[in-house]
Structure 1
Amino acid sequence: MVGLKVAYFGSDFFSIRCLDHLMNLSFKQHHIGTLDLIAKHSKRGGRGNKQILETPIVSYAKLKQLNILRAEKNSEIESLSANSYDLAIAVSYGKLIPQTFLKSLRYGGLNVHPSLLPKYSGPAPLQHTILNGDSVTGVTVQALHPTTFDKGSVLKQEVCHDYRPDSETTESLGLKLADLGGPLLSDVVKFTFDNLILPEPVETSNEYSYAPKPSPSLYQINWNVLSTTEIIRRFNALGPLYTFKHCHVVKKPPFTGLKRVILDKISPIADISSNLSAELTTPGMFTSVEDGLIIKSLDGYIKVKSLKFQGFGSQDSNSFMASLPKRTGDSVHVFLFNDS
């Protein structure tokens, strides 16, 4: 029996990891006979728009010598109907697959979603799982809905038992859920190949919630509001965060106002010395120790090992502190929240 002809729509590391499992399982077991990688068009970027920027999955597809097709507009995706695919798989593609194309497929479409649907439907389930400190998460294989994201029938779902709420980052959790979801996807493909139909939907007990793209405001730290745990969750979910430093420089060019400071390599501190505790009395206050900058949060302290002052490159904490007098003048060592 000839394997299925599959169109795989993907873009990022999560879709690459799922595709890798699919290649190692379904493709090698001949459940898939032909697989075309459908990618978005390359774009120009960089200085002077001289660089050609590709989605990460294109490099993977070239390495695996897959056939790469470009489709982004609805009309371009619909034109793929001429290829007579049996099945479409869309993972982190970031675009709704048109109904016209789905109707042309023998078995419709599949998606791997990194949450226990219908919880965290939407584009940022990984980030919201970490931001909310969820104790349980997992992955879902669903049928593609013709008109709405994440509204398809749930075909398979599994809890991630290797999930570590206190230390997961978006990348680490994404890889774990892809390593769970890729084999689940392969199971659905095998079932479809063997039975000439998609599996029956399964019942889920999770309540619906939506996971939108994180608001830009979440990247700024409000020292008077956020606990150490909340700051660490934001860093793990979103990456580098930022704050502001008041400056009063009288030398040319004179400047009085706020400058942005980006904080990276952030970690929690369980305890500090009594001397440091006495020095850091107000949220946002900071001081330098040998291996980082200690900053007072609402209920504790964090350590930051990399900082980037507005208009300058990244520095370690000692270099940052040494450069402060010239950049900020004679001002108090405290970071501020800018609500304007």
Structure 2
Amino acid sequence: MTLRLAFMGTPDFAARSLAEIAAAGHEVARVYTQPPRRRGRGQSEQKTPVHQLAEILGIPVSTPESFRDPAVIEDFASLDLDLAAVVAYGQILPQAALDAPRLGCLNLHASLLPRWRGAAPIQRAIMAGDTLTGVQLQQMEAGLDTGPILLSETVRIAPTETASSLHDKLRDAGALMWPRALSALERGSLEAVPQSDEGATYAKKISASEARIDWARAAGDLSAHIRGLSPYPGAWFELPTEKGPVRTKVLMAEAVDGAGAPGTVLEGLTVACGEGALSLTRLQREGKGAMDAATFLNGNQIPAGMVLG
């Protein structure tokens, strides 16, 4: 027996799940994704990764601006679905949409709920210094990531983990959960475990203002902050130059021994923090490519005693 479902997702993180669901032989009647947006220097219109994959797989695609449009919900309900599989779609589904499929809507979330409900669980877990995270399939309800848990997979956060590397781990682990979950759902053996609100935390969207490095923080905290924002949007500081300050991203850094006024270069690319120091090991100057510390120092004069903004 196969399930008839809709898939809702937008980024690369979601595309891998769509590929696994389709490969498992389920009938994907429709893919919903965000509309094409203008991006890049040429501002050309680009389809989402999920949209592109759906076209390759020959699956019809819908790109509604809002799922609160009654006509969109009516069309969705007319598909006569067993369920909807949702992965990083980017829209909040109203109750009428959640109720339309026979088995409701299942969502893949990149944390161990109730920790890090919300938009940026991968980044927030690293920035907070967590050592464990995971992916979970939940039955969707009206609250933000509050639905009962159907299936979980735990993933360890390595000491050098970045948002990029953890994204890929969770993407792959989560995608492989779908065939197991859908098979169990067909057999009626998928148990829903209610969430508790105790210990709940919220992974709010990353703001531009918090990406700037505050050298007054402890070096260990800053290392986690930097890795959690690497490579995008990238934690940054202002590098003094003869032509004025230049925004420079730090993509990787290691907490080391050292002391001095916060933001002061001690030697090489070791910078004093509020507690300890940071060795900046991978950087990207505005308008340039990413490079290691040695290459960066070859092209930039950074004497000991310079204060980074």
TM exceeding 0.5: yes
1:52 aligns with 2:29: no
1:194 aligns with 2:173: no
TM-score (norm 1): 0.76
Q: What secondary structure, in the 3-state scheme, does the structure 2 residue paired with 1:335 have?
A: coil
Matches within 5 A, 1:1-340: 1=1, 3-24=2-23, 26-27=24-25, 32-47=26-41, 49=43, 51-74=44-67, 75=69, 77-78=72-73, 79-145=75-141, 147-160=142-155, 163-195=156-188, 199-202=190-193, 207-227=199-219, 229-239=220-230, 240-245=234-239, 259-268=245-254, 270=256, 281-286=260-265, 289=268, 293-298=269-274, 299-308=276-285, 313=288, 316-318=295-297, 320-322=299-301, 333-336=306-309
Query: CA distance change for structure 1 residues 41 and 8 in 2, over 3 Å: closer, same or farther?
Result: same
Determine if contact 1:7/1:38 at 8 Å carries over to the other structure. yes
Query: CA distance change for structure 1 residues 164 and 87 in 2, over 3 Å: closer, same or farther?
Result: same
Report the alpha carbon displacement of residue 319 of structure 1 after superposing the two structures with TM: 5.1
Structure 2: distance between partners of 1:265 and 1:174: 15
Report the alpha carbon displacement of residue 158 of structure 1 after superposing the two structures with TM: 2.8
Structure 2: distance between partners of 1:183 and 1:307: 34
Deviates more, 1:105-114 or 1:81-90: 81-90
Structure 1: give runs of 5+ residues left out of the alignment: 250-254, 272-276, 326-330
Q: What secondary structure, in the 3-state scheme, does the structure 2 residue paired with 1:167 have?
A: coil
Structure 2: give runs of 5+ residues left out of the alignment: none
Q: Read off the aligned partner of 1:242 and give its amino acid letter.
A: W
Determine if contact 2:260/2:266 at 8 Å carries over to the other structure. no
Deviates more, 1:296-305 or 1:92-101: 296-305
Q: Read off the aligned partner of 1:335 and give its amino acid letter.
A: L
Q: What secondary structure, in the 3-state scheme, does the structure 2 residue paired with 1:231 have?
A: helix
Report the alpha carbon displacement of residue 133 of structure 1 after superposing the two structures with TM: 1.1
In our comparison, the structure showing a higher alpha carbon Rg is 1
Query: CA distance change for structure 1 residues 77 and 235 in 2, over 3 Å: closer, same or farther?
Result: farther
Determine if contact 1:15/1:92 at 8 Å carries over to the other structure. yes
CA RMSD of aligned residues (A): 2.9
Query: CA distance change for structure 1 residues 242 and 321 in 2, over 3 Å: closer, same or farther?
Result: same
TM-score (norm 2): 0.83
Structure 1: distance between partners of 2:145 and 2:137: 10
Residues 178-222 of structure 1: per-residue CA shift (max 9 Å, x gap): 332223332221122233xx8331256762221111233321111
Residues 33-84 of structure 1: per-residue CA shift (max 9 Å, x gap): 33422112112344464x0122222222233333322223122541222222
Report the alpha carbon displacement of residue 108 of structure 1 after superposing the two structures with TM: 0.7
Query: CA distance change for structure 1 residues 120 and 42 in 2, over 3 Å: closer, same or farther?
Result: same
Q: Read off the aligned partner of 1:153 and give its amino acid letter.
A: P
Structure 2: distance between partners of 1:56 and 1:124: 19
Report how many residues are paired.
Answer: 297
Structure 2: distance between partners of 1:88 and 1:45: 29
Determine if contact 2:98/2:105 at 8 Å carries over to the other structure. yes
Residues 123-165 of structure 1: per-residue CA shift (max 9 Å, x gap): 11111110111122122110111x22212121122322xx233
Query: CA distance change for structure 1 residues 305 and 184 in 2, over 3 Å: closer, same or farther?
Result: closer
Query: CA distance change for structure 1 residues 47 and 137 in 2, over 3 Å: closer, same or farther?
Result: closer
Identity level (%)? 25
